[in-house]
């Protein structure tokens, strides 16, 4: 019987070969469309990269179909191990308006994908304002609303879920990586909170209309 370890047959990649790919991953998301050469290196070296970042308590999330890759903190079954490894990829607490806008953009992307017409979803700021208007009291200040939407879009852009089009500041592209962070369960849970929010909003709207 052969007792050889299958790991022994895995190729060993020198650090200097992995670094040009690992360093950009530590900084953020790698997109196939933005850097095809880096993307190809990532695909060729992914086994070595997975082993390398595992030592740092991270795991490589790679979606070849959608064309993006990023690192996230690995969840260990042993809580003591999990707390002993510092988080290199921090979690951010999102405000309710940002969470709401993220959920609406994610739903819009699901509807967009179902239509199957295009691969890039482009929205104008006015379209985003209309998406969120129904969740606000009737008669909300228009200028204040636009400023708030712009501020929230900037935060979402900083998180990497959207990007503003060059030369068209009023247009945004929803990045497909949003699908990796907002799954069906997250949306379902958020739907429950939206229902509660709407119920809380109705008396306010009735009072305003009255």
Residue 87 has a pLDDT of 45
Three-class SS state of 114: helix
Numbered ranges of CATH 1.10.10.2260 in the chain: 96-193
Residues of the chain with confidence (pLDDT) below 70: 1-13, 75-92, 137-139, 193, 196-210
Query: What distance in Å separates the CA atoms of residue 118 and residue 134, rounded to the nearest whole number?
Result: 27
Residue 174 has a pLDDT of 93
Pick from 16, 30, 26: which is nearest to 53 by CA?
26
Residue 203 has a pLDDT of 53
Residue 208 has a pLDDT of 46
Numbered ranges of CATH 1.10.10.2250 in the chain: 6-84
CB 201 within 8 A of CB 208: no
CATH for 96-193 (1.20.1270.30, 3.40.50.300, 1.10.10.2260, 3.30.390.50): 1.10.10.2260
CB 172 within 8 A of CB 122: yes
Residue 94 has a pLDDT of 77
Q: Does domain 6-84 have CATH number 1.10.3720.10?
A: no
CB 163 within 8 A of CB 173: yes
Three-class SS state of 73: strand
The packing angle between helices 96-115 and 184-209, to 10°, is 120
pLDDT in tens, 58-117: 999 999 988 999 998 876 544 443 444 444 445 567 787 888 888 889 989 988 988 877
**Half-sphere exposure for 142 (CA within 13 Å, toward CB):** 2
What's this model's pTM, rounded to 2 decimal places?
0.67
CB 173 within 8 A of CB 165: yes
């Amino acid at each position: 019987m052969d007792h050889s370890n299958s790991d022994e047959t895995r190729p060993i990649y020198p650090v200097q070969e992995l670094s040009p790919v690992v360093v950009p991953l530590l900084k953020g998301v790698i997109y196939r469309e933005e850097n095809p050469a880096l993307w190809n290196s990532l695909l060729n070296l992914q086994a070595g990269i997975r082993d390398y970042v595992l030592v740092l308590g991270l795991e490589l999330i790679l979606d070849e179909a959608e064309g993006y890759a990023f690192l996230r903190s690995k969840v260990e079954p042993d809580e003591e191990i999990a707390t002993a490894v510092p988080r290199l990829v921090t979690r951010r607490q999102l405000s309710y308006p940002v969470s709401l806008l993220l959920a609406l953009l994610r739903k819009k992307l699901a509807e967009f994908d179902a239509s199957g017409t295009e691969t890039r979803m482009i929205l104008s700021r006015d379209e985003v304002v209309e998406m969120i208007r129904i969740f606000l009291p009737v008669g909300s200040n228009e200028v204040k609303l636009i400023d708030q939407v712009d501020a929230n879009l900037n935060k979402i852009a900083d998180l990497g879920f959207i990007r503003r089009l060059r030369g068209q500041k009023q247009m945004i592209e929803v990045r497909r990586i949003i699908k990796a962070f907002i799954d069906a369960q997250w949306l379902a849970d958020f739907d429950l909170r939206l229902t509660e929010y709407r119920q809380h909003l109705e008396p306010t709207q009735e009072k305003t209309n009255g």
